[in-house]
């Protein structure tokens, strides 16, 4: 299908000599590569080559809960005597008991070998600490001491460090950053987490502070920011009085897992966010002037990437730029690898900027809804049809926000096409009271469906993607993974989309009619076994004021044959 654009497959190339960016030495402020141009050029496009560790591999030496996060790349061959391999990657389970794992390879293209004695750092260190878990490793080479520093968090309120001369055996160092330090540096705030730290050489070489640290801080507001700390020696740290990155509409509720990176003469803070995209913000070399976020790497919406990528580390080796990162749905994550790809696609959700809504070419099942009545030969499935009060008028299908929900409101639907398929609608609704909502629903019955909507909650307008499985709506209130507050510039008209990839159903939305944003976690298509698709509108309690949702059109994305016929 035309809409299922796959990222270009890449032939692997052997890596040997490091040039420019050297993790563990100056990975935050590398010497510009000779091919790099002047500042202000476009960010590179990376294409994923897939995961480099299988979280379901039962043979792994340490795999307590089948999920891994936060890779840290270290050029062992440049610093260690008799290393296990040219490159090390440290990574960790996220949940209890955590533990810092090590894998190694002679090339960043792999193959990777697991260090059999992992974890090299555990959640219990005799006589020093005993915590529920340790995680988020980050390694740097301290040339002055000729040893590696490994930073990690454990528990969430403390970022610690340990040192090593071989990268395998470690001596405990101490606490680097704590929630108490953040509270002291930022009066009026109360930190609850200080974790996910990346440490780097200060790009301002005139400063007495040799080392910088970007770390995630959660506050009692349950909103995660990125903070900055400085150190002369990598041991004693001073926290800045304000966060360096605060989440905004582009990011969603949280930001985390930041690193400092230089591209074509410009420094960037690269980091993950609630929306699942790896973002980049330009920053000056003193790390005081921070620009607006730009998308750097947009993951595929369906698993295994599952619309979520974070914890980036960017490394140049033998003239190739590599991205090592974490991808996948939270608690089902692992470590992945990507390379710079001049012919790649930055955003798999937006591959047709010349006609993003397929206005010039639509697929079978599409309806422009510009007549005087509904085509019931197309919309042939009626659910509680006797309650239907919708009309087609003024170039739109006007559906009242019925009392009730998806299990009680009337629905007029059409059979789903053969998979894969994609459907998009333009809907106008200005929800102002909780439970007012409208959108698209794909269903088998009242107990099994997926739906995307524009709705209203206490915080304002919100987009939701809800999988209803055997009568229970999937809802992760803690991370809000399946919802996104509407950006402030959202108008009354929005665009909603559901895509059937074959194995998975995903959702996305647009507030400008041009650019779509992934929403929520994928739902398994086979488990849902949907039969029908169409629009809906409802308002929950009958006392909630009734509005009218106007659906201007409903379009199916054309397949290759339909596209060819249009051209």
* CATH number of the domain encompassing residue 134: 2.115.10.20
What are the pLDDT digits (tens) for 319-329?
899 999 999 98
Q: What is the DSSP letter of 439?
A: E
What residues contact residue 3 under an 8 Å CB cut-off, 6+ apart? 351, 420, 422, 499, 557
What are the pLDDT digits (tens) for 344-373?
999 999 998 889 999 999 999 999 999 999
Instruction: Map residue 428 onto helix, strand or coil.
Output: strand
Residue finishing a domain among 340, 366, 393: 340
Question: pLDDT value at position 11?
Answer: 30
Does residue 350 belong to any structural domain of this protein? no
Does residue 64 belong to any structural domain of this protein? yes
Phi, psi of 564 (to 5 degrees): -60, -40
Token pair for 54: 């299988």
CA atoms lying within 13 Å on the CB side of residue 2: 22
> Is a pLDDT exceeding 60 seen at residue 9?
no
Does residue 429 belong to any structural domain of this protein? yes
Question: pLDDT value at position 33?
Answer: 32
List C-alpha distances in Å: 311 to 96, 103, 258: 19, 17, 7
Question: pLDDT value at position 250?
Answer: 87
Do residue 385 and residue 526 come from a single domain?
yes
Instruction: Map residue 375 onto helix, strand or coil.
Output: coil
> Is a pLDDT exceeding 80 seen at residue 32?
no
Q: What is the DSSP letter of 367?
A: B
Do residue 297 and residue 425 come from a single domain?
no
**110 C-beta neighbours (distance < 10 Å), count:** 18
Among 30, 15, 45, 25, CA closest to 112: 15
What are the pLDDT digits (tens) for 424-482?
999 999 999 999 999 999 999 999 999 999 999 999 999 999 999 999 999 765 556 78
Separation CA 282–CA 304 (nearest Å): 29
Do residue 98 and residue 210 come from a single domain?
yes
Tell me the torsion sign for CA atoms 467, 473, 479, 484: positive
> Is a pLDDT exceeding 70 seen at residue 292?
yes
Does residue 369 belong to any structural domain of this protein? no
What are the pLDDT digits (tens) for 77-108?
999 999 999 999 999 999 999 999 999 999 99
Question: pLDDT value at position 17?
Answer: 26
Q: What is the mean pLDDT of the chain?
A: 91
Does residue 22 belong to any structural domain of this protein? no
Does residue 359 belong to any structural domain of this protein? no
Question: pLDDT value at position 558?
Answer: 94
Do residue 332 and residue 472 come from a single domain?
no
Say if residues 21 and 318 touch (Cβ distance below 8 Å). no
Do residue 265 and residue 335 come from a single domain?
yes
Do residue 335 and residue 476 come from a single domain?
no
Question: pLDDT value at position 419?
Answer: 84
Do residue 307 and residue 385 come from a single domain?
no
Does residue 360 belong to any structural domain of this protein? no
Residue finishing a domain among 340, 355, 372: 340
Domain count, the chain: 2
> Is a pLDDT exceeding 70 seen at residue 18?
no
Q: pLDDT over 90 for what percent of the chain?
A: 86
Question: pLDDT value at position 477?
Answer: 53
Do residue 91 and residue 197 come from a single domain?
yes
Do residue 238 and residue 119 come from a single domain?
yes
Give the domain range for residue 250: 46-340
Residue finishing a domain among 320, 340, 360: 340
pTM: 0.86
Q: What is the mean pLDDT of residues 488-499?
A: 96
User: For position 446, which CATH number holds?
Assistant: 2.60.120.200
What residues contact residue 564 under an 8 Å CB cut-off, 6+ apart? none
Do residue 300 and residue 437 come from a single domain?
no
Confidence at 252, pLDDT banded by 50, 70, 90: confident
Q: What is the DSSP letter of 7?
A: P
Do residue 59 and residue 186 come from a single domain?
yes
Question: pLDDT value at position 20?
Answer: 27
Question: pLDDT value at position 329?
Answer: 86
Do residue 283 and residue 423 come from a single domain?
no
Question: pLDDT value at position 318?
Answer: 85
- The residue whose two tokens read 């040799």 is 210
> Is a pLDDT exceeding 80 seen at residue 36?
no
Does residue 364 belong to any structural domain of this protein? no
Q: Looking at 170-179, 244-253, 470-479, which range is the least confident one?
A: 470-479
């Amino acid at each position: 299908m035309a809409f299922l654009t796959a990222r270009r497959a890449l032939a692997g190339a052997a890596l040997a000599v490091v040039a420019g960016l050297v993790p563990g030495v100056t990975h935050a402020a590398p010497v510009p590569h000779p091919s790099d141009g002047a500042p202000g050029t476009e960010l590179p496009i990376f294409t994923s080559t897939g995961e480099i560790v299988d979280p379901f591999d039962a043979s792994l030496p340490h795999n307590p809960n089948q999920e891994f996060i936060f890779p840290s790349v270290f050029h062992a061959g440049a610093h260690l005597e008799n290393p296990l391999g040219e490159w090390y990657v440290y990574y960790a389970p996220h949940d209890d008991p955590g533990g810092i794992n090590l894998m190694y390879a002679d090339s960043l293209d792999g193959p990777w070998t697991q260090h059999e004695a992992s974890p090299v750092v555990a959640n219990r260190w005799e006589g020093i600490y005993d915590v529920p878990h340790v995680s988020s490793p980050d390694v740097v080479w301290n040339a002055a001491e000729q040893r590696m520093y490994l930073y990690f968090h454990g528990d969430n309120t403390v970022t610690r460090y340990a040192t090593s001369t071989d990268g395998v055996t470690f001596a405990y160092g101490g606490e680097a950053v704590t929630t108490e330090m953040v509270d002291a540096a930022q009066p009026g705030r109360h930190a609850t987490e200080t974790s996910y730290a990346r440490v780097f050489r200060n790009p301002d070489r005139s400063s007495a502070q040799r080392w910088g640290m970007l770390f995630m801080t959660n506050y009692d507001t349950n909103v995660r920011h990125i903070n900055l700390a400085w150190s002369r020696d990598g041991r004693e740290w001073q926290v800045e009085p304000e966060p360096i990155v605060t989440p905004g509409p582009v990011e969603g509720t949280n930001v985390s897992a930041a690193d400092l990176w230089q591209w074509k003469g410009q420094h960037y803070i690269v980091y993950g966010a609630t929306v699942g995209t790896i973002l980049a913000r330009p920053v000056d070399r003193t790390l005081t002037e921070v620009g607006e976020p730009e998308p750097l790497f947009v993951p595929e919406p369906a698993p295994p990437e599952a619309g979520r990528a974070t914890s980036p580390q960017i490394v140049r080796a033998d003239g190739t730029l590599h991205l090592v990162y974490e991808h996948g749905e939270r608690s089902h994550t692992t470590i992945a690898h990507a390379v710079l790809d001049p012919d790649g696609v930055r955003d798999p959700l937006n591959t047709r900027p010349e006609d993003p809504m397929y206005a010039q070419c639509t697929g079978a099942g599409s309806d422009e809804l510009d007549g005087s009545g509904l085509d019931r030969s197309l919309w042939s499935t009626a659910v509680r049809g006797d309650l239907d009060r919708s009309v087609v008028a003024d170039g739109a299908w006007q559906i009242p926000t019925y009392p009730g929900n998806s299990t009680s409101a009337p629905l007029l639907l059409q059979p789903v096409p053969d998979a894969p398929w994609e459907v998009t609608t333009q809907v106008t609704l200005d929800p102002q009271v909780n439970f007012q909502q409208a959108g698209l629903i794909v269903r088998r019955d009242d107990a099994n469906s997926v739906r995307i909507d524009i709705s209203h909650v206490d915080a304002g307008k919100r987009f939701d993607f809800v999988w209803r499985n055997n009568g229970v709506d999937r809802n992760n209130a803690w991370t809000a993974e399946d919802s996104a507050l509407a950006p402030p510039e959202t108008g009354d008209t929005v665009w909603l989309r559901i895509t059937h990839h074959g194995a998975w159903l995903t959702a996305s939305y647009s507030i400008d009619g041009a650019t779509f944003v992934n929403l929520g976690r994928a739902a398994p298509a086979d488990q849902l076994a949907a039969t029908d698709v169409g629009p809906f509108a409802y308002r929950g309690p009958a006392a909630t004021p009734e509005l009218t949702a106007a659906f201007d059109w409903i379009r199916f994305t054309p397949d290759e044959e339909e596209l060819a016929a249009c051209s």
